[in-house]
Amino acid sequence: MREPDALRIGRMPIHFFTVAAIFFAGGAAATPFMVARIVDFFYQPPILALVHTFTLGWITASIMGVMYRYVPALTRHPISYPRLAIWQFAVFVIGTIGIISHFANGIWAGTWFSAGILIVSIAMFAANMIPCLYPKLGSGVAETGMFLSTCFLFVAASIGFTLSLDKTYNFLGGDVLTNLASHVHFAAIGWVTLTICAVSYRMLPAFLLSTHKLPRSAR
């Protein structure tokens, strides 16, 4: 990797962490004004805007920042497309702001359009992560977990896009909350929880038991 590209990737976590901190501060400031709505009923556009401020703007941005730094170091495989990473960050911010703002205003057409932009960003993110993680798929615990979590993130975003598109065209059957559950669980368990568990399997032994080898059951 050329020096400018290495520097570009080295700065990527800073960009994501900065944006994550801004979204967290914004979400924390808005939460007190949403309490009455949350008590009334949680499935309302302004509440969904607040939820995605935390889940996309804070949590997902933070995890992406960690992975841009951690995955190349863990796999000893450089990021394949350093310049794509900058565009991925920009597209991610645009898509996330679009989703939150259109949720807040109850504009479903803008929501699913922004969700489509976010899916593009996730595909760009996967294009940089998958080449690093795939060679260790099935053999490395952390690598396998983060490979799968990246896939689950794409699935969760696609389901979210479909759910918001349904608000405009009304083509999905079933109950709203049942359909929503798939999106929530792919995101919360498949993306966030699996990534945290995968990273923990490598980081905790490194800090506490440097000579300890993970058993096959971890995989």
**In the chain, where the domains are located:** 3-218
User: Positive or negative CA dihedral for 118, 89, 128, 67?
Assistant: negative
Can you say whether the dihedral through the CA atoms of 206, 212, 216, 217 is positive or negative? negative
Q: Which fold has domain 3-218?
A: Cytochrome C Oxidase; Chain A (1.20.210)
Neighbours of 29 (CB within 10 A): 10
- What is the reported pLDDT for 104? 95
Residues of the chain with pLDDT under 70: 1-8, 205-212
Tell me which residue of 126, 148, 127 sits closest to 136, measured CA to CA. Answer: 148
What φ, ψ does residue 133 adopt, rounded to 5°?
-90, -30
How long is the chain? 219
Confidence (pLDDT) at 212: 64
Longest Cα pair distance anywhere in the chain, in angstroms? Answer: 57
Count other C-beta atoms under 10 Å from residue 133's C-beta.
25
pTM: 0.92
Of 188, 203, 218, 215, which Cα lies nearest the Cα of 66? 203
pLDDT value at residue 150: 98
Copy the structure tokens of residue 11: 């700065």
